Amino acid sequence: MEELVRKNIVNITPYIAGKPIEEIKRQWALKEIIKLASNENPLGPSLKAMEAIKKNLSKVNRYPDSLGFYLKKKLARYLNVKPANIVLGNGSDELIDIIIKTFVEDDENIITADTTFLEYEIISKVNGRRIITVPLRYFKYDLEAIKKKIGKKTKLIFIANPNNPTGTYVTKYEFEDFMRDLPANVLLVLDEAYDTFIDVDDFPAGLNYINNKNVIVLKTFSKAYGLAGLRIGYCLASQKLASYMEKARQPFNVNFLAHVAATAALDDKKFLRKTRKTILAGKDYLYDALSKLGIVYVPTVANFILIDVGRDGVSVFKEMLKYGVIVRDMDQYGLKNFIRVTIGTEKENERFIKVLKKVL
């Protein structure tokens, strides 16, 4: 059969998602499970978003608004940009695909880090584009090394800032230094999926750079806004770049309930504050608890922590599963002795530490 399939597809290592929570419960006969594997919001979705969904359920017979009129208008006001600076997507995953389709020719290449969000590589390959991956340096994007890899055929660079799965970030100084030397015909995508959790002063907010003609910023409602299951994200770019991306997307790429929920969630400032507070307090607790156990971790500015478990991370992941705690092993990322844990509620964090202690 393989001869029927495009070579790009045959050669892809697929993204491995976890089994459904209900299935794991059944398999291990567990009463309660906590999932700290996908960096989701532990508080659930905002109440405002849920109310908006309920109120609009009876309208799903209609196609969604292709223009994203209300959501773009509200986002534009909130971010102090024009609606024409915004492109909406079925999660930022889809926007990564749209960006590649819009800007990267068949014979051009894409650069990113070797240990970062897996979708950059997978979606590049699905589209038959060559991707060059540059090793991290001390768990951080190595911008100097990336600079050296930029060639005549380079069109796009993906930087996850903060980076997933390491939680590290590129500083404002490093970013601006990198931008100074970036050729005008190379696009830089800053993926800011975790921007709500930043607690440092020298973070380069991508929004401030979208008037540069070659910067695109990716944002999502999946993490801090608690809407991962609805699939909605957006990107910010110059009006010119955004207009080309609009041409490349499908007309109804974002579903109606996602529009409605995201628009409502934007008004729920209280929920966002509470989410941030929960994560930052949870981070303090986990840092402290891990240090007391003598376990090494990578300091994070996101809602997850990369932890060095000192032995095969897959086996640690599997053993924790039996106690009803789902974390992420780092096998696919090439970090053998690590796990990544999403910061949860106070109770979840305590249970995670208890089980980790037992397993190690």
Ligand X SMILES: *Cc1c(COP(=O)(O)O)cnc(C)c1O
Distance separating alpha carbons of residues 348 and 142, to the nearest angstrom: 34
Contact 262, 71 (CB under 8 A): yes
40 binds ligand X (CB under 6 A): no
Give the shortest CB-360-to-ligand X separation in angstroms.
26
- Residue 117 or 178: the one with the smaller Cβ distance to ligand X is 117
- Residue 333 or 352: the one with the smaller Cβ distance to ligand X is 333
φ/ψ (deg, to 5) at 156: -140, 140
Using CB under 6 A as the binding rule, the residues of this chain from 231 to 250 that contact ligand X are 233
- The tokens 């299935």 sit on which residue? 23
Residue 74 burial by CB count (10 A; 0-12/13-18/19+): exposed, middle or buried? middle
Instruction: Tell me the residue length of the chain.
Output: 360
Of 66-74, 101-109, 222-230, 275-283, which segment contacts ligand X by CB under 6 A? 222-230
Contact 225, 195 (CB under 8 A): no
Give the shortest CB-69-to-ligand X separation in angstroms.
21
Instruction: Return the residue of 76, 84, 228, 295 that touches ligand X, per CB under 6 A.
Output: 228
Q: Tell me the one-letter amino acid at 180.
A: R
Binding mask 187-206 for ligand X (x = CB under 6 A): ----x-x-------------
- Residue 103 or 221: the one with the smaller Cβ distance to ligand X is 221
- Residue 88 or 160: the one with the smaller Cβ distance to ligand X is 160
Q: Are strands 304-308 and 187-191 parallel, antiparallel or unpaired?
A: unpaired
Instruction: Return the residue of 52, 110, 146, 160 that touches ligand X, per CB under 6 A.
Output: 160
164 binds ligand X (CB under 6 A): yes
Using CB under 6 A as the binding rule, the residues of this chain from 268 to 327 that contact ligand X are none
Give the shortest CB-228-to-ligand X separation in angstroms.
6
Instruction: Return the residue of 154, 222, 342, 349 that touches ligand X, per CB under 6 A.
Output: 222
Binding mask 46-85 for ligand X (x = CB under 6 A): ----------------------------------------
Give the shortest CB-354-to-ligand X separation in angstroms.
27
Using CB under 6 A as the binding rule, the residues of this chain from 83 to 122 that contact ligand X are 91-93, 117
Contact 210, 217 (CB under 8 A): yes
- What are 135's two structure tokens? 């090793």
- Residue 338 or 355: the one with the smaller Cβ distance to ligand X is 338
Q: How many CA atoms lie within 13 A of 180 on its CB side?
A: 7
DSSP string covering 341-360, please? EE---HHHHHHHHHHHHHH-
Give the shortest CB-287-to-ligand X separation in angstroms.
21
Task: Say whether 344 sits in a helix, a strand or coil.
Answer: coil
Nearest Cα neighbor of 330 from 343, 316, 351, 319 is: 316
- Residue 91 or 226: the one with the smaller Cβ distance to ligand X is 91
φ/ψ (deg, to 5) at 188: -115, 125
- Residue 134 or 353: the one with the smaller Cβ distance to ligand X is 134
By beta-carbon distance, which residue lies closest to ligand X?
A: 91
> What is the C-alpha end-to-end distance of the chain, expressed in Å?
45
Of 19-27, 41-49, 217-225, 335-343, which segment contacts ligand X by CB under 6 A? 217-225
- Residue 146 or 193: the one with the smaller Cβ distance to ligand X is 193
- Residue 108 or 191: the one with the smaller Cβ distance to ligand X is 191
Distance separating alpha carbons of residues 198 and 276, to the nearest angstrom: 9
What residues are paired with 146 via a beta bridge? none
Distance separating alpha carbons of residues 254 and 66, to the nearest angstrom: 8
Helices 256-266 and 47-56: angle between axes, nearest 10 degrees: 140
Residues that bind ligand X (CB under 6 A): 39, 91-93, 117, 160, 164, 191, 193, 220, 222-223, 228, 233
